[in-house]
């Protein structure tokens, strides 16, 4: 099973490879990052690391034994004991429980390492896999939203109660 690691500068090459390899797969269920993201990846990575250093976000990668990144699990907009959870798992790792295990681990880290008490998450209605992961890990629906023109749901997870 891949290991969840806090994002570092050393992860940049493997992270870029992960994003490139899975771009079309991700675009089928979430808005595409766009060409600018890939053309300016190093700049963006430095900016993410600065946000993490400032405590605004906590970015994680799922790393296989050989060093390949097979997923991302991020806690963004960290403030007032809560954050928004976002994740993406490589197509080759989908359907094997990797996302559920990674989200569970991120919830545990949110409590034990980061002192958070609540997490938020969003997903589109046409992404049943993501909705299932959120349900299995204790997130509850909390209203409908619009995600870049696509209907979606907002979820909440109270970390003070067991999932």
pLDDT the model gives residue 40: 96
Average pLDDT score, the chain: 95
Separation CA 109–CA 106 (nearest Å): 5
Separation CA 163–CA 158 (nearest Å): 9
Average pLDDT estimate for 125-139: 94
Q: How far apart are the first and last CA of the chain?
A: 21
pLDDT the model gives residue 43: 96
* pLDDT of residue 150 exceeding 90: no
Average pLDDT estimate for 68-72: 97
68's enclosing H/E stretch is none
Q: Are 22 and 90 in contact (CB under 8 A)?
A: yes
* pLDDT of residue 3 exceeding 90: yes
Task: Give the single-character DSSP code of 67.
Answer: S
Q: Tokens for 18, please give them.
A: 């992960």
The answer, as to whether pTM is greater than 0.85, is yes
Separation CA 68–CA 101 (nearest Å): 18
pLDDT the model gives residue 87: 96
Question: 3-158 architecture in CATH?
Answer: 3-Layer(aba) Sandwich (3.40)
Could you tell me the pLDDT band of residue 57, with boundaries at 50, 70 and 90? very high
CA-CA-CA-CA dihedral for 1, 135, 28, 20, to nearest 10:
-30
Q: Tokens for 126, please give them.
A: 């046409």
pLDDT the model gives residue 31: 76
If one compares 147 and 111, the residue with the highest pLDDT of the two is: 111
pLDDT digits (tens, 9 = 90+) for 13-53: 999 999 999 999 998 877 789 999 999 999 999 999 999 99
Which of 123, 45, 46 lies closest to 86 in space, CA to CA? 123
Q: Tokens for 129, please give them.
A: 């896999």
- What is the percent of the chain where pLDDT is above 90? 87
Determine phi and psi for 135, rounding to 5 degrees: -65, -45
Separation CA 114–CA 36 (nearest Å): 32
């Amino acid at each position: 099973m891949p290991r969840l690691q806090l994002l570092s500068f050393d992860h940049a090459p493997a992270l870029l490879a992960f994003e490139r390899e899975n771009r079309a797969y991700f675009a089928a269920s979430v808005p595409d990052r766009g060409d600018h993201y890939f053309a300016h990846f190093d700049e963006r990575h430095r900016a993410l690391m600065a946000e993490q250093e400032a405590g605004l976000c906590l970015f994680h990668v799922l790393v296989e034994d050989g060093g390949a990144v097979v997923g991302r699990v991020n806690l963004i907009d960290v403030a007032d004991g809560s954050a928004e959870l976002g994740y993406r798992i490589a197509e080759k790792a989908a359907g094997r429980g990797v996302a559920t295990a990674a989200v569970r681990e991120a919830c545990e880290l949110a409590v034990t390492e980061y002192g958070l008490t609540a997490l938020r998450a969003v997903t589109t209605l046409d992404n049943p896999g993501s909705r299932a992961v959120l349900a299995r890990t204790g997130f509850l629906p909390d209203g409908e939203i619009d995600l870049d023109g696509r209907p979606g749901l907002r979820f909440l997870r109270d970390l003070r109660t067991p999932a």
